[in-house]
Amino acid sequence: MIRRLKDKTLSRGLALALNSRIEKYGRILDLQLDSRNKRLELELLLNGETDPLQVQIENYEVREEAGHWYLLAKELKTSREWIDTLAREYLSQRPLEIPERYARMLKMVI
């Protein structure tokens, strides 16, 4: 039960953090974190699109380096083939910095 509560809290914070990074492309409709299985599922509505994009991140890693926190997506799959290809080339295995205001919350719960 505590893990689910932690995951729900982190899901909200991560959605806020990511929305601030992607606002010019669209917005996150839903984000579900499963820390036990290192899985992250997102539903995004991209600007100009009518159907949401589904994103699954498997085997993610959250790490701290020199006082900065990062999310690393090791395996990434989406509901659109062309975005899958783009994501593998430009996002997979590249750390995404978590903004400091959300990193503080992250430090409290992990």
Q: Which three-class secondary structure string do you get for the chain?
A: CHHHHHHHHHHHHHHHHHHHHHCCCEEEEEEEEECCCCEEEEEEEECCCCCCEEEEEECCEEEEECCEEEEECCEEEECCHHHHHHHHHHCCCCCEEECHHHHHHHHHHC
Look at the chain and report how many structural domains it folds into: 1
What are 85-101's pLDDT values in tens digits?
A: 988 888 777 888 877 77
What pLDDT score does 107 carry?
59
What are 45-87's pLDDT values in tens digits?
A: 999 999 999 999 888 888 888 888 888 888 889 999 999 898 8
Predicted confidence band at 105 (pLDDT cuts at 50, 70, 90)?
low
81: domain range?
2-109
What are 25-52's pLDDT values in tens digits?
A: 999 999 998 988 989 899 999 999 999 9
Q: Decide if pLDDT at 104 tops 80.
A: no
